[in-house]
Structures are given as C-alpha cells and as structure tokens.
Structure 1
Amino acid sequence: MAKNMAENKTLHYALRVLQLIFAIIVMGTDGYAIHVFRGHTVYEHFDYGNFYDYYGVPNAWGFLMFCAAWTVLIVIFHLIAGIRFADRALVGYIRVAVEAVAVLSWLAGFISVAVQISTDTCSAGKSSCGPLKAATVFGAFEWLLFMVTAALTVMLVFDSSRKPRTSTRPGAAV
C-alpha cells in the first residue's frame, strides 16, 4: 500500500499544492507580523556607561519567512525533477536530500517562532502576536506535510533504485 501511495501522481501533486498554499499563508501571516512589529530603542544604563540599544524583528521570524520561500523553490524543483528527470538516480538522491533539508528547516523554523510567542517579544498587547501564532500553526502543518512527502520520496527513490532498468531502444537484448 505504501508503494502505491509513493507512485500515485495525484497524491503527489495534491501534497505539493498543499505545501505551496501553506507556504503562501505562512509568507502572508509572518510578513504581516514582521511589518506590524515595530522595533524599539531601549536606554541601557550600566556602571561603565550608558547606551541606546535597538531591538528589531527577531531572527526566528525571518527564518520562518525563509522556510516559506525555500518551499516555493522546492515545490518547483520537485515538479520539474519528477517530470523531466524521473529515471535519473542522482536526481532521486538530490530529491531526498532536499526533502530532508526542508523537513529540518520547517522543524527548526516553527519551533523557534513558537518559543518566542510566550516571551516579551510577543506579549498580549502587541498586534503582531495573532498573525505570528497563525504562521506558527501553518508552519507546523507544513512540517507535517514535508514529513509525509519526504517519506514518500524516500520510498519511491530507494525502491525504484533496486529495480533492474530495461532498455527503451528497439531491438535491444533484455
């Protein structure tokens, strides 16, 4: 049954479209949270001197945006690689590596943003918290989608690499 799921083109395209839709949602919600968040300057007083420190948008928010943009490129790569170079072994291994990087990126991205939701950066009085929570939830769903597609890609690539290849030339000895 798992082999049939891995070879099902309709399921593959449906999962990729869902990944693309969720990436667009994460881009929109995270981008809005970044836009609404206003960096602020804090006057720091120390025994050795005083200075103004600027607190900008947290890096985790930008990393989640990177994960969403990276997903768009991954979906395009998988659609092109699945159509044009489906029988190449090296492209199959590259597809597995890209899936693994995407899984780890989304895991790190949504967890790092989720950790910051409960801190001072996103307190109840700030308007960037709602969209940030939505971006975190959709980031978690994106990670789950990539877990599914990574498993299907691994099954497809490593199962197809064990099959003997047949020649497509007419008259070739089999």
Structure 2
Amino acid sequence: MTVDISYNKTLKYALRALQLIFAITIMGIVGYAIHVFRGHTVYEHFVYGNFYDYYGVPDAWGFLLFCAAWTVVIIIFYSITGIILADNKWIGYVRVAVEAVAVLSWLAGFIAVAVQISNDTCSTGNSSCGMLEAATVFGALEWLLFMVTATLTVRTTKLGGGGEHKTASTNH
C-alpha cells in the first residue's frame, strides 16, 4: 500500500502555516526597510537641459512587499475553498493558476531585491541593507515552499480531478 503525499492534509496545513509565517516576517522586514530608507534628490546634467531627480525606495522592495500580501490572500483563499468548494472540479484549476502566479511572483521578487542589494542602492552603513538581505533569504525560502505546494496542488488536481480527496490512494 502506497500513500501519496499530495493527499496529506497535515503536510499541506504545515506548509501553508510556514508560508503565512514567512509572509508576515517579510512584510515586517521590508516594511521597516522601506520606512528607514532615505530618498535623495540629485541634480542631473543632460545635453538638452538639467533637472532635479528624486531617488526613492526601489520598486523591487515594494514588489516583495506585494508578494507577501498576495501570499496572505492566497492562504485565505485556500482556507475558504478547502472548506466550501473542496469537491468542485474547476476550483482545482484555479488553485493551480494561483500557485503558478505565486511561484513566478516570488521568484521575480526575491531576485529583484537581490539585484538591488548587489548594486549601489545599498550604501555601507545603511541599516536597511541587512534587513533586505534577510528579506531576500526569506523570499527565496517562500519561493521554495510555493514550489512544493504548487507541485502538490498540480498532483492533486491531475490525479483527482481538482477536488480534495478524503482517502489516500492505494496500489495493489
């Protein structure tokens, strides 16, 4: 008798709990890094004229914050659909699409912040750089968690027609 881990609800709940904890951690870290970041104005010289340009918080930081908020929405979505729409065939395809968007968003988010850390956005002595390094690590771990849950979701949808199964599959 073989038990398929894609039907293990305890594992799914544990992974979703980790995703939620990491998302809240990332929201706190990135939110504080955005708060302490000091934008600055630079006078730019060009052939066609000069102007003042303001350098604020990089967009990648905001995108990583969005990814964390999106994860909280996903956890709420999975909690509701797991209870109300557990046997709906089409909800499985929606779950796969939501997982795919999350996987790609987290991949883009943590890579974008890592690139921002490696160039001159982070100056030495800036306290937001250390926080962003931690947020990047948590973002990479969040991406790995979503890779695992996406695989489990695809397997559940493919093998079971989209719904959550209440029994483990057996092979004789």
Query: What is the TM-score when the length of structure 2 is the normalising length?
Result: 0.90
What is the deviation of 1:69? 0.2
User: Do the aligned residues in 2 keep the contact of 1:67 with 1:109 (CA within 8 Å)?
Assistant: yes
What is the deviation of 1:108? 0.3
What is the deviation of 1:149? 0.3
Aligned equivalent of 1:149: 149
- Larger radius of gyration, structure 1 or 2? 1
SS state at 1:86 partner? coil
SS state at 2:126 partner? coil
Closer, same or farther: CA 137–35 of 1 in aligned 2, 3 Å: same
What amino acid maps onto 1:54 in structure 2?
Y
SS state at 2:124 partner? coil
Aligned equivalent of 2:133: 133
Closer, same or farther: CA 140–86 of 1 in aligned 2, 3 Å: same
74-83 vs 133-142, which deviates more? 74-83
63-72 vs 120-129, which deviates more? 120-129
What is the deviation of 1:105? 0.3
Closer, same or farther: CA 8–54 of 1 in aligned 2, 3 Å: same
What is the deviation of 1:49? 2.5
User: Do the aligned residues in 2 keep the contact of 1:3 with 1:155 (CA within 8 Å)?
Assistant: no
**RMSD, aligned CA:** 1.8
What is the deviation of 1:34? 0.6
Once the two structures are superposed, residues 134-153 of structure 1 have per-residue CA deviations (whole angstroms, 9 ceiling, x without a partner) of 11000000000000000001
Mark the runs of 5 or more structure 2 residues left unpaired by the alignment: 164-172
Q: Distance in 1 between matches of 2:23 and 2:119?
A: 25
Q: How many residues align?
A: 163
What amino acid maps onto 1:156 in structure 2?
T
What is the deviation of 1:5? 1.1
Q: Distance in 2 between matches of 1:154 and 1:141?
A: 20
Closer, same or farther: CA 48–2 of 1 in aligned 2, 3 Å: farther
Aligned equivalent of 1:171: none
Once the two structures are superposed, residues 23-52 of structure 1 have per-residue CA deviations (whole angstroms, 9 ceiling, x without a partner) of 001101111111111110011123432211
Aligned equivalent of 2:82: 82
Q: Distance in 2 between matches of 1:9 and 1:73?
A: 20
